Amino acid sequence: MSYNPQDNIIFTEDNGIGVVSLNRSESMNALNWSMVQELRDHLLKWAESPAIHAVILHSFTDKVFCAGGDLKEIYKAQEEGDQDHLNRFIDLEYEVVRLIATYPKPYISLISGLCMGGGMGISVHGKARVVTSDTIMAMPEARIGYFPDVGASSFLSKCPGKSGVFLGLTGYQMNGADALYTGLATHYVSKENVPFLFGSLTATDIEGHPKDGVYAILDLFAEEKSPQISGIEQHRTFIDEVFSGETIEDIFVNLKLSKNQWRRKVEEYLESASPSSLKVTLELLKNTSKKPFDEALKMEVELAKKLMMSSEFHEGIRAAVIDKDRAPKWAMV
């Protein structure tokens, strides 16, 4: 299948495998409207095609998988007051999240490099999530005046103990071991073996038993455990004790009372976030923790449409990617 190497997202078919290649490295593979729309259209087509047995999502650069949604595009719409465009983008984004979560064929994400926000949305909901030694995963939305979206309230609620609350509030950057421990990843493959894994997935004939074939190949390359240390696992008792607080104020009090070596680092994470985003995020995670997937997504969509044009989110994007001064002026709550 021919393609334009200048495209931001490239779709190819190789021996019965649909391959999605993120190719916008100059913008850290940030997802804009056209990329998400093309992803939806190809996934729908491949779901119906008897010639496609599985889908692989990866990046053409191993430095970054996907840094999330295109914040500059969002900022432009905010500046122009284009709520309709932002609402359409939210609806499209969540259509893709639902599609991936219910995809009828094996959907494999090879997550090398940085994966945040929207990058988590197009990978973590799939059945197989492969991480490696250079994987960095995070949901840092509270630090830009927003909240962990793209189905995060669902996948964070499945993390052990209070680690999902911790991740949603702090935006902590997980390594491969953290991702495995929390269940956000399913397999760890050494960095040097990822190209061989990709080659095996696209070269092996799995037409007769695509699901079993995919997992047999993944198991062949996966290591029993990550050689890295999981900070979340190491500090799990501390995380559960601190983030069991019913309110943000409770969590800060719990931090002050703790003698754990991570205490100050976690305080710094929380102090850099928008106070209103912390409150919104905690309430969302509490309210969706036991809800079915579709209900959790519905709550997120309503919240996203409410906050997408907010001054707090606008200020967060300004400080992070427009002026890049890293000094947002948060509203006091």
Helix 83-101, helix 293-307: angle, nearest 10: 160
Q: Kindly name the residue from 16, 18, 68, 69 that is annotated as catalytic.
A: 69
Q: Residue 202: how many CB atoms within 10 A of its CB?
A: 16
Indicate the helix (H) or strand (E) that contains 45.
helix 33-48
Determine whether 121 is an active site residue: no
Beta strands 136-138; 187-188: pairing state: unpaired
Q: Kindly name the residue from 16, 118, 151, 176 that is annotated as catalytic.
A: 118
Determine whether 294 is an active site residue: no
Beta strands 128-131; 187-188: pairing state: parallel
Inter-residue contact 54 to 43 (CB < 8 Å): no
Determine whether 151 is an active site residue: no
Determine whether 213 is an active site residue: no
Reduced DSSP (H G I as helix, E B as strand, rest coil) percent helix, strand, coil of the chain, to 5: 50, 15, 35
Nearest alpha carbon to residue 188 among 100, 114, 89, 111 = 111
Q: Kindly name the residue from 141, 178, 300, 312 that is annotated as catalytic.
A: 141
Q: Kindly name the residue from 93, 149, 300, 312 that is annotated as catalytic.
A: 149
Return the half-sphere exposure (C-beta side, CA atoms, 13 A cut-off) of residue 101: 18
User: Which residues are tagged catalytic?
Assistant: 69, 118, 141, 149
